[in-house]
Amino acid sequence: MTNVNAPLITLARKLAPLADRVVIKATDEAEQRRGGLFIPDTAKEKPQQGEIIAAGPGKFDEKGGQRIPMDVKVGDKVLYGKYSGTEVTIDGEPYLILRESDVLAIVG
Amino acid sequence: MTNVNAPLITLARKLAPLADRVVIKATDEAEQRRGGLFIPDTAKEKPQQGEIIAAGPGKFDEKGGQRIPMDVKVGDKVLYGKYSGTEVTIDGEPYLILRESDVLAIVG
Amino acid sequence: MTNVNAPLITLARKLAPLADRVVIKATDEAEQRRGGLFIPDTAKEKPQQGEIIAAGPGKFDEKGGQRIPMDVKVGDKVLYGKYSGTEVTIDGEPYLILRESDVLAIVG
Amino acid sequence: MTNVNAPLITLARKLAPLADRVVIKATDEAEQRRGGLFIPDTAKEKPQQGEIIAAGPGKFDEKGGQRIPMDVKVGDKVLYGKYSGTEVTIDGEPYLILRESDVLAIVG
Amino acid sequence: MTNVNAPLITLARKLAPLADRVVIKATDEAEQRRGGLFIPDTAKEKPQQGEIIAAGPGKFDEKGGQRIPMDVKVGDKVLYGKYSGTEVTIDGEPYLILRESDVLAIVG
Amino acid sequence: MTNVNAPLITLARKLAPLADRVVIKATDEAEQRRGGLFIPDTAKEKPQQGEIIAAGPGKFDEKGGQRIPMDVKVGDKVLYGKYSGTEVTIDGEPYLILRESDVLAIVG
Amino acid sequence: MTNVNAPLITLARKLAPLADRVVIKATDEAEQRRGGLFIPDTAKEKPQQGEIIAAGPGKFDEKGGQRIPMDVKVGDKVLYGKYSGTEVTIDGEPYLILRESDVLAIVG
């Protein structure tokens, strides 16, 4: 963990997503290309890269007796649907709250 | 608990939401910005901050045998979909009744 | 129980709602304001106050083996979606038949 | 049972509704008003009064192992959605076939 | 069983409907009126009379472990939604393949 | 099995449909009429005859623990919705991939 | 495994699809035709051939207790709906992320 991540850790304490929601900080495009994985401008449905900043506990199953486990955790780099979710700004930085089902893949 | 919250406590006794519904008092914008978390004017789908004033007991599962537990409780500061729910006015103050699934996150 | 409620008791015997339906007598606006809780004219989706006059036994779960319990009972003062349900007139008085899921909260 | 009901009994033998369907004979408006319960001309969604002439055995639950019990039976006077169901004419008389879920209440 | 039904028996061997489907031979209008039950020209949603020529074994429940029993059998005279299903012609005669849920009632 | 079917057997090895899908080779119209069963040009929703060339193992039930059994098998002559499914060409011959629920009946 | 597949193996380590998603590398048209299976230009709904590069662990059933098994695995050649899924580019090569339910068949 570097200084760079410190504000994100603060945020995770500030914002606890409910059920199967996650808070994501989008990766900027320059950083995405350095990782070798990017989304073509010609793509029909453009996904976006980002990092999981906070994750909910999972939603309850239909009986309410147990939660469906989450497949992502804080710190995961992920691909997600760019136009999914709800935008918020915390301490001047933009974040996105979306459901785990809008996350396509973990970028390892 | 301060004097400021007293009318809210009265309200909680007055209005008992059914199933998975909650009653929310919206936070005004100045107070939101002091907390460091706010919603940009350019956001596509603007959420709103508020406080849970009353919470239902949870809805019954499909078998009717048990209730699905609520993840929010009275006093929680939350982010919710601004255009969700039903507005009511109690003793001259506006409130919102909505379902827990319209609450995005708890602001801690 | 006062004389005022007598016709309602008669009605409860006359009209037995099926499954999760309830019969509601709307509260007039003057009475609503005396209770300190009312619905602003500017509300996007206006609820209405009323009293539960008759309540069904609850609907069967998906297996048909047991009924999902009702959260409201005769005599409860409630908030409900104004444009929900079906209007009927009994002995010259208007009533509304709607499903329990259209009832937002009990006004205590 | 009076002579008046005789043709209905014949019909019940003639038409066996499947699953959760019922056959209903509409009550004429004059008879409805004599019962003190009627539907205002100004109602948004007008229900209709009638009598259950035949009732199905109930539909199977999702496992096919048992039927969900019916809450209405032959002879019940009921309120139902006027524009629900399918019209048939038997021996010159009009009837309606609809699902039990379109029946709002039993008029006792 | 008369000679008249012989081609139908042949058909039942020829066409085995899958799941909860049935094959129906429509009753002509003259025969319908002789039975005393007919559908008025003014009906909003006109049903049709016919005879079940072949019936599927029932569809599997959601677990795949057992079939949901059929309520109709070969030889039943039924009322069904006129515009439901798929038309086929066998040996020059028109038939209809539809799901049991489109059958309204058995005409006894 | 004749020489005529040989390419179909090869295909069955080549293309393994997933879940509840089947691969179908359409029967040409002349052959359909020789079988005495055909679809009238005036039919509202025209089905098509064909032969099952390959069949999937069935889809998993909602719990993932077991597959829902298939009611059709390789070699079955079937009626199916003409405009269902996805066309493919193998070794110059057209085939259709569709779900078992689009198959109406087995032609025996 | 030849040198040709090496970059794909690297990718599989880079991109871990969630739930029932798979990453697919499209087969070019010349290679498709050499395999004898191709999609006609006149097809209404054109599928596409490709190879599974990475596969998720399967989605959780409704109770969250177990995952529904995947029917495809890395290395499978498959037919899939051409217009399904989300495009990504990794190290200059285009890939597609889609759900297993958009995969029609395994080409053996």
Residues of C in contact with D66 (CB under 8 A): 63-65
Q: In chain D, pLDDT over 70 holds for what percent of residues?
A: 74
Residues G28-43: tens digit of each pLDDT: 877 766 666 655 555 5
Confidence of residue D26 (pLDDT cuts 50, 70, 90): very high
Res C45: pLDDT: 54
- Higher pLDDT residue, C19 or B108? C19
Chains that touch G (3 or more CB pairs under 8 A): A, F
Chain B residues with CB under 8 Å of a chain C CB are 13-19, 21, 23, 54, 56-57, 60, 62-65, 83, 85-91, 94, 97
Q: In chain A, pLDDT over 70 holds for what percent of residues?
A: 74
Chain D residues with CB under 8 Å of a chain C CB are 36-40, 43-47, 58, 61-63, 66-69, 71-72, 79, 81, 100-101, 103-108
Q: How far is D91 from chain C (nearest CA, A)?
A: 31
Q: Which residue, among D104, D106, D107, would best test binding to C if mutated, counting the most C CBs under 10 Å from its CB?
A: D104
Q: How far is B60 from chain C (nearest CA, A)?
A: 7
Q: How far is B7 from chain A (nearest CA, A)?
A: 27
Q: Which residue, among E89, E99, E102, would best test binding to F if mutated, counting the most F CBs under 10 Å from its CB?
A: E89
- Burial code (b: 16+ CB inside 10 Å, e: under 16) for A21-54 equals bbbbbbbeeeebeeeebbbeeebeeebbbbbbbb
Tell me if residue A93 falls in helix, strand or coil: strand
* Mean pLDDT, residues D57-74: 90
Res A33: pLDDT: 65
Average pLDDT value for chain F: 81
- With CB atoms and an 8 Å threshold, state whether F16 touches G40: no
Residues A63-87: tens digit of each pLDDT: 778 899 999 999 999 999 877 889 8
- The listed range with the strongest mean pLDDT (B46-50, C50-54, C79-83, G44-48) is C50-54
Q: How far is D62 from chain C (nearest CA, A)?
A: 7
- With CB atoms and an 8 Å threshold, state whether A87 touches B61: no
Residues B3-56: tens digit of each pLDDT: 444 555 566 558 899 999 999 999 887 776 666 665 555 555 568 899 999 999
Residues F64-89: tens digit of each pLDDT: 788 999 999 999 999 998 778 898 88
- Of B93-97, D31-35, F12-16, G46-50, the poorest mean pLDDT is in D31-35
Q: How far is G34 from chain A (nearest CA, A)?
A: 28
| Whether G4 contacts G12, CB under 8 Å | no
ipTM over 0.85: no
Beta strands C93-99 and C21-26: pairing type? antiparallel
Contacts of D83 (CB under 8 A, 6+ apart): E44
Res E46: pLDDT: 65
Confidence of residue G16 (pLDDT cuts 50, 70, 90): very high
Of G13, G63, G90, the CB nearest to A61: G63
- Higher pLDDT residue, D5 or E36? E36
Residues of A in contact with B56 (CB under 8 A): none
Of B45, B68, B106, the CB nearest to A64: B68
**Closest residue on chain F to E57 (Cα):** F71
Which alpha helices (DSSP H) does chain E contain, by range?
6-14, 29-34
Tokens 């085939």 sit at which residue? F95
- With CB atoms and an 8 Å threshold, state whether D40 touches C89: yes
- With CB atoms and an 8 Å threshold, state whether D15 touches E108: yes
Confidence of residue F39 (pLDDT cuts 50, 70, 90): low
Contact yes or no, E with D (3+ CB pairs under 8 Å): yes
Assigned CATH for B3-106: 2.30.33.40
Using alpha carbons, select from A102, A33, A99, A81 the residue that is nearest to residue G87.
A81
The full set of domain ranges for chain F reads 3-106
- With CB atoms and an 8 Å threshold, state whether D94 touches E45: no
- Higher pLDDT residue, A99 or C4? A99
**Closest residue on chain C to B87 (Cα):** C43
- Of C7-16, C83-92, F4-13, the poorest mean pLDDT is in F4-13
* Mean pLDDT, residues G85-100: 87
Of G14, G17, G86, the CB nearest to A37: G14
Residues of B in contact with C81 (CB under 8 A): 86
Q: Which residue, among C22, C37, C62, would best test binding to B if mutated, counting the most B CBs under 10 Å from its CB?
A: C37
- Of A87-96, C20-29, C76-85, D98-107, the poorest mean pLDDT is in A87-96
How many CB atoms are closer than 10 A to CB A56?
22
- Higher pLDDT residue, G54 or E31? G54
Is residue C26 over pLDDT 60?
yes
Of G64, G86, G90, the CB nearest to A37: G90
Residues of B in contact with A88 (CB under 8 A): 37-40, 43, 47, 79
Q: Which DSSP string corresponds to G36-61? A: TEE--TT-SS-EEEEEEEEE----B-
**Residue G45 to residue G43: CA distance in whole angstroms:** 6
Res B12: pLDDT: 56
Res F81: pLDDT: 84
Using alpha carbons, select from F17, B64, G78, D16 the residue that is nearest to residue C66.
B64
Average pLDDT value for chain G: 81
Q: Which contacts of D37-42 are long-range, i.e. CB under 8 A and separated by 24 or more positions?
A: D37/C14, D37/C15, D37/C88, D37/C89, D37/C90, D37/C91, D37/D107, D38/C88, D38/C89, D38/C90, D39/C87, D39/C88, D39/C89, D40/C87, D40/C88, D40/C89, D40/C94
**Residue D35 to residue F32: CA distance in whole angstroms:** 63
- Of C38-42, E86-90, F91-95, G101-105, the poorest mean pLDDT is in C38-42
**Residue D11, CB half-sphere, CA atoms under 13 Å: how many?**
29
- With CB atoms and an 8 Å threshold, state whether B88 touches C43: yes
Confidence of residue B108 (pLDDT cuts 50, 70, 90): confident
Q: How far is C67 from chain D (nearest CA, A)?
A: 10
Residues A30-61: tens digit of each pLDDT: 776 666 665 555 555 568 899 999 999 999 98
